[in-house]
Structure 1
Amino acid sequence: MIGSIDCMHWQWKNCPTAWQGEYGNRKGQKSIILEAVASFDTWVWHAFFGVAGSQNDLNVLGQSPVFDEVLRGHSPQVTYQINNTVYSGAYYLADGIYPRWTTFVKTIPNPQSEKERSFASFQEGYRKDVERCFGILQARWAIIRGAARMLEEEVLRSIMMTCIILHNMIVEDEYDYDAPEVFELDPMNTALTRIYERPM
């Protein structure tokens, strides 16, 4: 498992008047969306920021570069075994709105058996890792806890990415990671992705 994927809205108090309709979310507030993939220790593996608040998680996924490396044939090398069957595909825990792709593991909507109830309970529990990460980010950085007061979207993007990078530095300092980590910030400065060690 790579981690849990979900989106968070950051309210934009000083959204320009011309963009009010595009950035208005379902609560009537103006916001910008952060898509993130976080692991159990709240490490942010992927962050994509800047989608208008009127979009839903599927629209954000369609614009996100989270699967760009997979489409280029460079997927993370993950091997695990379930019921004596070895699997090599990485997967993400997601909620019900995400599509039925093999890379997303979603909960069982109406679990009937004890086995299904147990799976649904564990999946829903571990899927909250990304929600916990959002809560830690907002608790740690007061600037993203409240409504954004900047006028330019590029400034907000820089603030969000800086907070996420600092958060990862704190998490890395708290845990003992042995593997060297390499990060990539895309040219548009919209997404931060951890680059996996690839065998030569």
Structure 2
Amino acid sequence: MNNFAGSIVSSSSDDESSDEDDLVLHKLLSAARNRMQQRGESSNTEKRHRISIYRDRMAAHELLVRDYFAPDSLYGLSKFEDRFRISRNLFLRIARDLENNYEFFQLRWDARGKRDFSTLQKCKAALRQLAYDIAADASDEYLKMSERTGRECAYLFCEYVIELYGDIYLRHPTRNDIKQLYDTHEAKHGLPGMLGNIDCTHWEWANCPNAWRGQFTRGDQGVPTIILEAVASHDLWIWHAFFGMAGGKAPNMLFVVNEHQYNYGYYLGVGIYQEYATFVKSYSFSADEKRKLFNLAQESARKGVERAFGVLKQK
């Protein structure tokens, strides 16, 4: 009898424990289901009420034309060059070539009949990013262009410009090109066989990692810098400075000085460069009048690349 009663009590207690577990589990599942429903409703509400920015592209295009491209534009040619870093004629030439050759830079309408950005807007957005290193959406208030579209304009502008003009302006020099350089520098500086100037400058590296600051900091500079080196001629020819050695990429072009024939042209440089025949430096000690005269001519001819570096660093 006692065993039977004990079994009944044990069975009832097990049933009560099981009922409590079921109740807790039911409440837990109910809370989880309610939470999921609330999350779904909130996400649906966000999707339904997502803010869509209306950008009046046509008005932005008309404003751009009125400011820079109309016959009586608000800003003149000098302002255009200051802000775009190129002349307006060159800008229009590039924009016209891009429009004629690539669908992306053509004025289009989408499936909804909505007008796309004009060629001028896309080229302007790309050039402003390249000239001032600004963010892709920095011109949103003026051009009404989103960050994604602005980034795409800059990327495709660079890619297509290289495709269009690379064979003309990035090709290797020909014999005729070198002959023109010889004649130009001889007429201007009195230096036959001169191809251009080679020089370098220190550029402050504002975001240099702390671990690298020691190896990129010199005592005379005081801050981390990187060295920018360039070869400059009167018409912006740029190619390998050492083409006169190791069988380079420029054609063999002779010139004669004081009845001596030379096979390759040369660049004017400073004392930091190696003692190669392709680099002509000024004399460290000008003991006679001939050396003094040469130093004056060499230093005067090198003003071009120094001024170019100065303008570049200021901008």
Task: Report the TM-score, using the length of structure 1 for normalisation.
Answer: 0.53
Flag the structure with higher helix content: 2
% identical aligned pairs: 43
In the TM superposition, residue 116 of structure 1 has moved relative to its aligned partner by: 1.3
Contact 1:81 1:87 (8 Å CA) reproduced: yes
Q: Which residue does the alignment assign to 2:277? A: 102
The separation in 1 between residues aligned to 2:232 and 2:214, in whole angstroms, is 30
In the TM superposition, residue 76 of structure 1 has moved relative to its aligned partner by: 4.2
Larger relative contact order (CA 8 Å, sep ≥ 6): 1
Contact 2:218 2:224 (8 Å CA) reproduced: yes
Q: Indicate the structure (1 or 2) with the bigger Cα radius of gyration.
A: 2
Aligned mate of 1:19, from 204, 208, 212: 212
In the TM superposition, residue 97 of structure 1 has moved relative to its aligned partner by: 2.0
Task: Report the TM-score, using the length of structure 2 for normalisation.
Answer: 0.35
Q: Which residue does the alignment assign to 1:30? A: 224
Aligned residue-pair number: 121
Q: Which residue does the alignment assign to 2:265? A: 90
Flag the structure with higher strand content: 1
Unaligned residue ranges in structure 2 (runs of 5+): 1-193
Q: Which residue does the alignment assign to 2:306? A: 131
- The secondary structure found in structure 2 opposite 1:6 is strand
- The secondary structure found in structure 1 opposite 2:284 is coil
- The secondary structure found in structure 1 opposite 2:215 is helix
Unaligned residue ranges in structure 1 (runs of 5+): 47-64, 143-200
- The secondary structure found in structure 2 opposite 1:21 is coil
In the TM superposition, residue 73 of structure 1 has moved relative to its aligned partner by: 4.0
AA matched with 2:206: K
The structure-2 alpha-carbon separation of the partners of 1:15 and 1:38, relative to structure 1 and needing over 3 Å to count, comes to same
Q: What CA RMSD, in Å, does the superposition of the two structures yield over aligned residues?
A: 2.3
AA matched with 1:29: V
The structure-2 alpha-carbon separation of the partners of 1:68 and 1:123, relative to structure 1 and needing over 3 Å to count, comes to closer
- The secondary structure found in structure 1 opposite 2:197 is strand
In the TM superposition, residue 28 of structure 1 has moved relative to its aligned partner by: 1.6
Contact 2:244 2:264 (8 Å CA) reproduced: no
Contact 1:39 1:45 (8 Å CA) reproduced: yes
Deviating 4+ runs (over 4 angstroms) = none
Contact 2:242 2:278 (8 Å CA) reproduced: no
In the TM superposition, residue 40 of structure 1 has moved relative to its aligned partner by: 3.8
